[in-house]
Structure 1
Amino acid sequence: MKDIATKIKDLRNQIDNHNYRYYVMDNPIISDSEYDQIMRELEALEKHNENLITPDSPTQRVGAPPLKEFGTITHREPMLSLANAMSEEEIIAFYIRLEKVLKTQKDIELIGEPKLDGLGVELVYEDNMFVSGSTRGDGIVGENITQNLKTIKAIPLKLRTDLRETPSLLEVRGEVFISTSDFKKLNDTRIKNDLPEFANPRNAAAGSLRQLDSNITAERPLSIYCYEAGEVLGASFNTHLDFLSALKDWGFPVNPEIKLVKTPKKMVEYHKNLEL
């Protein structure tokens, strides 16, 4: 039994590491078929040794029974919406307000990051384990979509601990979305199966996350980029960039287009380059 338990642990670690290389580092080292072979081997071992199955096993992402309705989760810290700046003048005015609030004339460093059109979610980890996930909702209370979020392979079921220390409590905010290319493939498949097309990627992502049957969610090509913290206990960060680096170390995908900008002019340039 000890040898089997060791083998199961090794297979899980292999899958977790390959997920990390694929979703976080964008540097896979095995093919999809090789990945599937490892997963099938793990599934077979767990099938015959059910007492060794744990909640953080990669095999436990799917298979939960359908829900009758979603419960709710109250966010420890509010999930606020973002304000808009529609022109270069508004960006400059924003910097001026920051200078007044911070009482400084020095260059203020900000993080530029694309705003994705998806569904905002919160992921909660306690003692390194993913324990719950919810929608933004009204910013105070969101829907409990834990089972659906578990089906997204890019979301770690447990934090990586090999690159830096982990907090005892970690709330991570991110955006779940469907890429343009995946959206086209999804609609092409639906057309072939005589199913109605989705209107746009955002509706497809939001609708996929709000399925009462997580097995349906698992069939949708959902991705996530994480960008913000809620409550964190047992870790501190000098800058937002340091926090984003920690997210990657712990196994979360972070948008590769993120950039440190130091002046209003550089922020405008960053925005224009994203539009190209």
Structure 2
Amino acid sequence: MTELSEFLRSRRARLRPEDVGLTPFGGRRRVPGLRREELAQVAGVSVAYYTRLEQGRGQNVSTSVLDAIADALRLDTAERHHLHKLARPENRPRRPADRPQRVRPAVRHLLDSMENVPAHVLGRRLDILAWNRMNTALLGDFGALPPQRRNMAWMVFLDPATRELYADWDGKAADIVALLRSHAGCYPDDPALASLIGELSMKSPEFRKLWAAHDVRDKCFGIKELRHPVVGPLTLACETLVLPVDQDQRVVTYHAEPGSASAESLRLLASWTLEAAGGGGTAAPAEGRDAVAGER
């Protein structure tokens, strides 16, 4: 079964006939959610056409038809974009999935200049490509991990310290899987991504369950509750900035509300970090903090 088939079936399963203005018919329903004929009716397409699409045989499907199906399924922006990527492969990024990712020197300098703001760069597959000193103080020492383990999905599901760090681990895990699913829609033939998903599926029952849900999100901001081993509870705003030159790279930052207890904790963490580094105001050399990701 194709990724498109599984995604459409999972979205149909979320809806009931009454959710889309239909009266249930046909007695006892064997499967949850909308039937194919009900979705086709709401979307204004023939049952045969929708069935071919869900089975992966809908060649040259138009944008208008995909939008009608997305409307019928009540898809949000991220899900709608994912549907278009799956149904129209020609619109996927043309960059090769195995192209090594390098962080531009200007971006590394930007991270270094953010002395009081934890920040890191995520690449394809949620690989961690670069980070600053405050990020190490807040989230842990990425540089101590083997390069193939510098991946946010791997850390969230398989690293005990990372699991303990997030107070709402369930929410963090769901966000990570939904974002990884979006990456899979862009690069369905990426062998490194398939290897990562295979490892997580084999070693984490939570990942298997979340992956099977086919949820897609592209969360760019939010509030994170952390349980830091040194400064205790933290409530931080997380902002994600997509780099215009390489949209597979995102700068992720954390900051606290001014005057809050979390802001004071971050200030203390920053001062301790500088003291540990010898009191200087310049971030550590890029060597050991910058990764080139291309193989797993």
Q: Give me the TM-score of the superposition, normalised by structure 1.
A: 0.23
User: Per chain length, whose mean CA-contact separation is higher, i.e. which structure has more relative contact order (CA < 8 Å, sep 6+)?
Assistant: 1
- The structure carrying a bigger strand percent of its residues is 1
- The structure carrying a bigger helix percent of its residues is 2
